Amino acid sequence: MSTYPTAEPHPREDPLPGTEKAGVGALGPTGRPLPEFPEPAPLTSHGPARIIAMCNQKGGVGKTTTTINLGAALAEVGRKVLLVDFDPQGALSVGLGIRTNELDVTIYNLLVERGHDIRDIVQPTRTENLDLVPANIDLSAAEVQLVGEVAREQILGRALRPILDDYDVVLIDCQPSLGLLTVNALTAAHGVIIPLECEFFAMRGVALLVETIDKITDRLNPRLQVDGILATMYDSRTLHSREVVRSVVDHFGDQVFHTVISRTVKFPDASLAAEPITTYASQHGAATAYRQLARELIARGGAA
């Protein structure tokens, strides 16, 4: 008797890699046996939050997409999640339906002006359990303005402190640079997730990022851990994608998430609709993948 499902509930243009012929002991897309990640147990109480920075100084690797969709997947399993837009481009805020040019106060005001309470800046999103601290282009001035501040690397961490007990996870969407804003995110964080696009030169620059993380662990934030490296924009049909993932695993071993995010147009579509993939295309393999990532992160202890 076949143990394979006889029919897919919904046709998928791009199956979740590694699960298309899944069975006991099947190899996942990273070339390792794919473990089962259990359904997370419901939480009976909330907080204090674990803070995770989504970081890679390369643009277009899936930081913002992962922040929205991992956040939404965690929220779906009852975690209280705060997303922090820490990129002056404001793509995270826009991707959740915020008109960023109409905002009076953003993370920028919280960082550079006294007298703001983060609670006045946090906004609910249309997704239950998912809140947002928005940003807009104002934030681009912060880097220069903060340079002369006392304890300039710790300003974000201090600003987040009052609401940490209200959330289980805070995800910070970093800008594509290793400047002072990103250093602030890494100083505030317990963990860092590094999205890597499955493309030529994916690893270029990662050594510098790891060196930066090591310096911050040494000098500013000894608790900081790499929670995982996430392969994004994976195309199971190309040898190239598979080779990139293999080489990332050869290099980083168990730090690489078993979950891999496939390349699909559903992601840009969902951002246009200003919705997480988990509601925009709930049954699509791409939503399944972020749900699996949420379970894997929880199973690894990266979230409650």
Binding site for ligand ADP (CB under 6 A): 59-65, 91, 176, 232-233, 261, 263-264, 267-268, 271
With respect to ligand ADP, which residue has the nearer C-beta, 163 or 264?
264
- Please identify, using beta-carbon distances, which residue of 100 and 271 lies nearer to ligand ADP: 271
Burial readout 22-53 (b: 16 or more C-beta within 10 A, e: otherwise): beeeeebbbeeebeebeebeeeeeeeebbbbb
Q: Name the residue with the smallest CB distance to Mg ion.
A: 64
Residue 64 binding Mg ion, by CB under 5 A: yes
Q: Pick between residue 221 and residue 232 the one whose CB is nearest to ligand ADP.
A: 232
Choice between 63 and 291, CB closer to ligand ADP: 63
> What type of residue sits at position 234?
Y
CB of 261 to ligand ADP, least distance (A): 5
DSSP β-ladder status, 169-174 and 123-124: unpaired
29 Cβ neighbours under 8 A, 6+ residues apart: 17, 18, 231, 234, 236, 242, 245, 260
For the bound state, the minimum distance from the C-beta of residue 92 to Mg ion, rounded and expressed in Å, comes to 7
Shortest distance, position 270 Cβ to ligand ADP, whole Å: 8
Would you state the structure tokens that stand for residue 38, as one six-digit string? Answer: 């259990």
Residue 3 beta carbon to Mg ion: minimum distance, rounded to whole angstroms:
40
Q: Which of 50, 63, 190, 258 binds Mg ion (CB under 5 A)?
A: 63
Residue 182 or 232 having the CB closest to ligand ADP: 232
Taking the complex as a whole, how short is the minimal distance between the CB of residue 97 and ligand ADP, in angstroms?
15
Using CB under 5 A as the criterion, which residues of the chain lie in contact with Mg ion when the complex forms?
A: 63-64, 91
